[in-house]
Amino acid sequence: MTLEQKLAQMSQYGTSYLMATAKDDVTGPARALGLNGEQVAAVGSTLGSAQAADVIAMQQNHLANDPNKIPLLFMRDVIHGYRTIYPIPLGMGATWDEGLVYDCCRMAAKEAAVSGIQVNFSPMVDLVRDCRWGRNMESTGEDPWYNSRMAAAMVKGYQGDDDLQGKYDIAACVKHFAAYGAAESGRDYNTTDMSEHTLREYYLPAYRAAVDAGVEMVMTSFNALNGIPCAGNSRLAADILRNEWGFDGVVISDWNSFHEMVNHGYAANDRDAAEKAIQAVTDIEMMSTCYLRYMRALIEEGKVSEEQIDQAVLRILRLKEKLGMFENPLRATSVEEEAKYCLCEEHRALARRAAEQAAVLLKNDGVLPLSENIGSIAVIGPFAACGMNGWWSCQGKTDESVSVAAGLRAALPQATITVAAGCTDGLHDPLDPAMLEAALDMARASESVVLCLGEQEGWSGEGNSRADVGLPAAQKELLRRVAAVNPRTVVLLFNGRPLALGDVIDAAPAFFTMWQPGTEGGSAAANLLLGRVNFSGHLTMSFPYHVGQAPIYYNSMRTGRPKPGDDSTMGYVSRYVDCPNAPLFPFGYGLSYTDFTYGRPTLSATQIKRGESLTLSLTVKNTGKMAGSTVVQLYIHDPVASLVRPVREMRDYARVTLGAGEEKEVQFKIDEAMLAFYTAEGRYEAEPGCFRVWAAPDAASGEALSFTLL
């Protein structure tokens, strides 16, 4: 391979660039990037949307033009489903069901593979603590240990259990390395700055879990971390990722982030950026041309060795080889199977189950479930009659997704289901009096109201942070007025982040969130509203009273002046004069149609030596009239340590399903590894002393027990 061909192998452009460019006719976007025909012909991979037929044509054209006959890799963001869309990852996190997450990723991989995708830019495992950030929707939440479990389940779901040997396995790419979710002010792409301890203790674990699960690719992130853009941060990508963790797969930059080192003020120009990127051992440059344009000069000046280039190309070729692309450049791509599997009933059924399990019941003063014999329901709100897939729903189409109105009509053919928007769906739209009156008339005339409120898909996702995370004013007024005329009003929220509900939670007797539930959202909503399925979702990100509490997360520190309980009269303690400290709904929270009682927990020992373990036991009972699932969460706290420690940290959980009246003993093994952290000396170990432990249904409840590590 010539140096230019090697550099083209290390470059990635949008599928639209390749489709618009024949070898000797560089037109459109490729020309805008300054590419010539040879470069486009030799490019190593492409990203973006294409159908199976397009992929087949592009691969054949590519192999006809590439002198080295190296197959093109097709990559895409299949974040929560390819064509059959399941809930956004913040919703999938709320299922607390790693098996379900795995199954959904298997389904997404199959649909993507037959449509011509071989690499998936997922899982996104960025820790999130700020409800303002738009990409909360892509994360599984604020707990590093739980995100690590989810990361592993997703990597295995995409890549299969046999090292990509399965026909429908696709390579996974963990992102965004690193700490992208710590964007200051919750504003996307903003600065991230933290101690080495915070980075290692909270922000790195989930990426490490993906690497340990065998992820094939890592994507670096847009943000500067401690003053160095991650696209050229050799401390992160070379020292930690490759040398300390032993990752020897492919590292890819995020979109144009090489060039953005110039915007950050870290690179003087694209040539400087190219040098910084290759020293950070980044193999593929996404959507910029720094390597192509400047690497030859950097090699001739002795700043970069061709050996470094060869190593990068080798990692890329090894991935293609692992995927069997040299023998079969199309892998699983098939027009017939694309039509057969995408959106098939089996996949819809799985998406429906995921949407049901992701939903979290936040409040229910007895108006739910609705009766199967109900005669009339008014479905009101700007999101009453539309599908809700989410900002990043790949090939999913809104008109292929079931709306709440359609779901209820299908579930209750005998009932009168009426629909009114009540208000428009803009963020700052005024409330239209005529729309409001029409909705109020409908609410008055119906036995119950399902009010579909929350966020448009475009208010979260990349580049879509919000300074206020409450409901828009028009929706709040609609909620108040509808609930005033019909006390049996249920609020169904669609949201891509935690919402601040402190000023509306008292306005209606029931609230639940479905996040952005995807293809089967409306049918899942109907099953939940009618009690055909019980709620079992639990939050993995705290919901604040008010956005002013952001960032708010459960595993926070105590401070020197902790506020005792909720006594807001005390002055000189850490508090707000106008808002509680605690979230409205804490991490781990979720109600059910049935009731669960947690018996008094017991410990098998009150002290352990290093290397020993003890067992926490408790009995959980379903004291209600309906079968249901609860999630028992195990939390620990180290009250005295060489560094201050979070008030609670989850270290295990158990999803427990019980019939009405049934009870079960739940046990957790507590061992030294659960107590370890990066100490003041930087060693990862448990320090001797007293520990507190809870087994609870959320991060704000439960009875603490204590034991000592000798």
DSSP code string of 600-636: PPEES-SEE-TT-EEEEEEEEEE-SSS-EEEEEEEEE
Contact status: 190 vs ligand GLC (CB under 6 A) = no
We find the least distance from the C-beta atom of residue 218 to ligand GLC, in angstroms, to be 12
Distance CA 308, CA 305 (A): 5
Active-site residue, selected from the candidate residues 254, 638, 652, 698 = 254
DSSP bridge partners of 11: 285
- DSSP assignments along 496-507, one per residue: SS----TTTTTS
Q: Pick one of 66, 97, 188, 254: the residue that binds ligand GLC (CB under 6 A).
A: 254
Binding of ligand GLC by 121 (CB under 6 A):
yes
* Binder of ligand GLC out of 36, 255, 308, 339 (CB under 6 A): 255
Contact code string over 618-647 relative to ligand GLC, x by CB under 6 A = ------------------------------
Q: Is 451 exposed, middle or buried (0-12, 13-18, 19+ CB in 10 A)?
A: buried
Tell me: does residue 47 bind ligand GLC (CB under 6 A): yes
280: left (phi over 0), alpha (psi -120 to 50) or beta: alpha
C-alpha distances in Å from residue 141, one per residue of 497, 498, 540, 542, 632: 10, 10, 5, 9, 17
* Distance in Å, CB of 629 to ligand GLC, minimum: 32
Question: Is there a contact between 72 and 60 (Cβ–Cβ < 8 Å)?
Answer: no
Please give the Cα distance from 628 to 626 (Å, whole number): 6
Bridge-partner residues for 707, per DSSP? 691
The amino acid at residue 155 is V
256 or 416: CB nearest ligand GLC = 256
Residue number with the smallest Cβ distance to ligand GLC: 121
If the CB atoms of residues 77 and 338 are measured against ligand GLC, the closer one turns out to be 77
| H/E segment holding residue 655 | strand 649-658
Q: What share of residues in the chain are helix, strand, coil (percent, to 5)?
A: 35, 20, 45
Q: How far apart are CA 347 and CA 334, in angstroms?
A: 18
Cβ-based neighbour number of residue 68 at 10 Å? 13
Could you tell me if 411 and 523 are in contact, meaning their C-beta atoms sit under 8 angstroms apart?
Answer: yes
Token pair for residue 670? 């507590």
State in angstroms the smallest separation of the CB of 173 from ligand GLC.
8
In the chain, the amino acid numbered 229 is: P
Query: From the CB of 681, what's the least distance to ligand GLC, in Å?
Result: 36
Please say which residue, 123 or 588, places its beta carbon nearer to ligand GLC.
123
Q: In the bound complex, what is the minimum distance in angstroms from residue 176's beta carbon to ligand GLC?
A: 6
Q: List the interface residues with ligand GLC, window 265-324 (CB under 6 A).
A: none
The residue among 284 and 699 lying less far from ligand GLC, judged by its C-beta, is 284
Distance CA 400, CA 388 (A): 10
Smallest distance from ligand GLC to CB 641, Å: 36
668 is a contact residue toward ligand GLC (CB under 6 A): no
- Which of 220, 233, 225 shows the shortest CA–CA distance to 196? 225
Rounded CA gap, 192 and 579, in Å?
A: 27
**CB closer to ligand GLC out of 175 and 648:** 175
Size of the site for ligand GLC (CB under 6 A): 7
Indicate whether 175 belongs to the interface with ligand GLC (CB under 6 A). Answer: yes
Query: Nearest approach, Cβ of 263 to ligand GLC (angstroms)?
Result: 14
Residues 125, 144 contacting (CB under 8 angstroms): no
Query: Does residue 208 bind ligand GLC (CB under 6 A)?
Result: no
Site for ligand GLC in 74-93 (CB under 6 A): 77
Residue 561's CB is within 10 A of a number of other CB atoms, namely 12
Shorter beta-carbon distance to ligand GLC: residue 216 or 254: 254
Min dist. Cβ of residue 168 to ligand GLC (A): 21
**Residue 677 Cβ, how far from ligand GLC at the closest point, in Å?**
30
Closer to ligand GLC by CB, 48 or 214: give it: 48
Q: How far is the CB of 621 from ligand GLC (least distance, A)?
A: 44
C-beta of 389 vs 633, nearer to ligand GLC: 389
Residue ranges of alpha helices (H) inside 183-334 are 196-198, 205-212, 234, 260-264, 270-279, 290-300, 306-322
Q: Which is nearer to ligand GLC, 223 or 486 (CB)?
A: 223
User: Which 3 state secondary structure label does DSSP give 41?
Assistant: helix
CB of 598 to ligand GLC, least distance (A): 39
677: CB partners within 8 A, 6+ apart: 201, 638, 641, 643, 645, 684, 685, 686
CB closer to ligand GLC out of 394 and 709: 394
Q: Closer CB to ligand GLC, residue 245 or residue 255?
A: 255
Q: How far is the CA of 224 from the CAs of 132, 137, 191, 702, in angstroms?
A: 19, 21, 6, 39
- Cβ 158 vs Cβ 170: under 8 Å: yes
672 lies in the site for ligand GLC, by CB under 6 A: no
Question: Is 254 assigned a catalytic role?
Answer: yes
Nearest-approach distance from CB 371 to ligand GLC, in angstroms: 44
Site string for ligand GLC, 441-480 (x = CB under 6 A): ---------------------x------------------
Q: How many residues does the chain have?
A: 710
Question: For residues 6 and 175, which CB has a smaller minimum distance to ligand GLC in the complex?
Answer: 175
| CA 558 to chain CA mean position, Å | 28
Of 430, 429, 408, 428, nearest in space to 417 by CA:
408
Reading the block at residue 4, the tokens are 């230019």
Catalytic machinery residues: 254
> What residues line the site for ligand GLC (CB under 6 A)?
47, 77, 121, 175, 254-255, 462
